[in-house]
Amino acid sequence: MAIIKYRQTALSQAATVIIIWKEYPNDFTMNKSDHRAGVLYIVATPIGNLGDISARALEVLKAVSLIAAEDTRHSRKLLAHYGIGTALQAVHEHNERNVTGRLLQKLSAGADIALISDAGTPLISDPGFHLVRSARQAGIRVVPVPGPSALIAALSVAGLPTDRFVFAGFLPVKQAARRQRLQGMVTEAATLVFYESSHRIVDCLADMATCLGGEREATLARELTKTFETVLTGSLGDLLECLQADSHQQKGEFVVMVQGAPPRDPAAIDTAAEQVLAVLLSELPLKQAAALAAKITGLSKNVLYEQGLKLKDKH
C-alpha cells in the first residue's frame, strides 16, 4: 500500500490530498523532486442549456493544457461559446484504452488535463472509467469539477422518493435481455432511474409496464433544460399510452424514473413461498420446514409455521 501526499496546485482549492491505493508500485518517486505531475480534472458540462456550466469549470477548461473530449466537434461549439481555445483530443469508448497511456505520460510530465463528455458528467453512462482508474492507479491526482447530470436533474423534479435510488443506466437493446434485467428489479424498493433515447422509449416503457406492473407510478423527464423540456408523472401504463398517442412526446432524450416496489407484507405468503413450504413439509418436520422455508424466501418463520399447520390440516 502506498500513501502519497500532493501539494496544492494552481487550480485546486484542496491543500493536501492523501491517496491510498493498494496496487500502487513501490518505486514511485514523484514528490522527491520539484517535479509536479499534472492533475486530471473531470469536468461536468451542460445537458442542454449552455448557461448550466460553473465558473470553476470554465476556469479549469481555460487553464489546462489539453481537453480530452468524447466528440471534439461537439465540444468545440461549447468551448467557442465561452471563447476557450484549449487544444482538444478525442477520447471515446472506441479509443479510450489506446489513448490512456499517452494521456498518463502527459500528466506524469506535468500537464493538467480536463476530461469532458458530450453532455453532463463524464463516466455517468459516458467514457472515462478506464482513464480515471488508470490515472488513480498511477498516482495521478483526479479532481472532480461537479455540475449537471441528467439523472440528478431529473430526480430533483420527479416528486418520487430520492432518499434511495438505483441508477440503472441504459437497459439492454434486445427485448429478452431488457425484460430479464427488469425482472431482476421487481422487488427493488428504491426509486429506479433509467436513461433512454427516442428510438426505444416506447418499447422500454412497454416492457417496464409488463415486468414491473402497469400501475407503478413513474416520471418521465424529457429534454431537460432544453426548449421542449417536459416532465410527466403517472402510472407506467398511463405514460405508455400518452407517448403512443403523441409522437412528439417520443422525441429527444429521456430519464425514466419508476417508484420502488411497495414494502412486502410480512404476513403475506405468495404461491412460490407456499410451494417451497409444501415441498419441505413433505420431507421434514413442520418446525424444520418452516425454518428452512424462512431462510429461502426471506419470510417470517412464524408466519410460515402457521401456514404449515394449515397445509398439514388440509392433507
Q: Which residues bind ligand SAM (CB under 6 A)?
A: 47-48, 117, 119-121, 124-126, 149-151, 195-197, 221, 223-226, 253-255
The grid cell for 130 is: 478506464
In the chain, the N- to C-terminal Cα span, in Å, equals 63
- Least Å distance, CB 251 to ligand SAM, is 11
User: H helices of 2-82, where?
Assistant: 55-63, 72-81
Neighbours of 58 (CB within 10 A): 16
Give the residue with the Cβ less far from ligand SAM, 223 or 241: 223
CB closer to ligand SAM out of 7 and 248: 248
81 in Cβ contact with 50 (< 8 Å)? yes
Contact in structure between 69 and 88 (CB atoms under 8 Å): yes
Distances from the Cα of 186 to the Cαs of 137, 159, 285, 293, in angstroms? Answer: 37, 21, 33, 21
CB of 229 or CB of 274, closer to ligand SAM: 229
Nearer to ligand SAM, 119 or 160 (CB): 119
Q: Which residues pair with 3 in a beta bridge?
A: 20
How far apart are CB 192 and ligand SAM at their closest, in Å? 14
Which ranges of the chain would DSSP assign to H, the alpha helix? Answer: 55-63, 72-81, 96-108, 129-137, 150-158, 175-183, 201-212, 236-245, 271-283, 286-297, 301-314
In sequence order, what are the residues at sequence separation of 6 or more whose Cβ sits closer than 8 angstroms to the Cβ of residue 200? Answer: 171, 173
CB of 307 to ligand SAM, least distance (A): 44
We find the least distance from the C-beta atom of residue 169 to ligand SAM, in angstroms, to be: 8
Find, among 314, 315, 288, 187, the residue nearest to 304 by Cα: 288
Instruction: Work out how close the CB of 76 gets to ligand SAM at its nearest, in angstroms, rounded to a whole number.
Output: 18
Nearest-CB residue for ligand SAM: 120
Q: Which is nearer to ligand SAM, 74 or 226 (CB)?
A: 226
Cα 39 from chain centre? 24
> How far apart are CB 117 and ligand SAM at their closest, in Å?
5
Query: Least distance to ligand SAM from the beta carbon of 255, Å?
Result: 5
Burial label for 40, CB within 10 Å (0-12, 13-18, 19+), is buried
In whole angstroms, the minimum distance from the beta carbon of 148 to ligand SAM comes to 7
